[in-house]
Amino acid sequence: MNAVHADGSFDVEEYNWNNPLAYGTRKHVHVSNAQADFQWMLHF
């Protein structure tokens, strides 16, 4: 996660997402109880 927005959405940088063997970015992602894409997140 590299940004959190005022509306509660966030941006995530991920390896192999939308770019094979490279980093991709999902922007303004909203997580709801029905969405399991981000059930576990890695925190540093």
> Per residue of the chain (44 residues), what is the pLDDT tens digit?
889 999 888 888 888 877 788 888 889 888 774 456 666 665 55
- 10-13's contacts with Cβ under 8 Å and 24+ in sequence apart are 12/38
Instruction: Say how many domains are in the chain.
Output: 1
Residue 8 lies in a domain: yes
pLDDT at 5: 92
Residue 42 lies in a domain: no
Residue 43 lies in a domain: no
pLDDT at 13: 85
Residue 27 lies in a domain: yes
Domain span at 20 = 1-33
Please list the residues that pair with 26 across neighbouring strands: 12
DSSP 5-21: -TTS-EEEEEETSSSTT
Residue 19 lies in a domain: yes
Residue 40 lies in a domain: no
Residue 44 lies in a domain: no
Angle at 21 between CA 37 and CA 36, to 5 degrees: 5
pLDDT at 26: 86
pLDDT at 24: 85
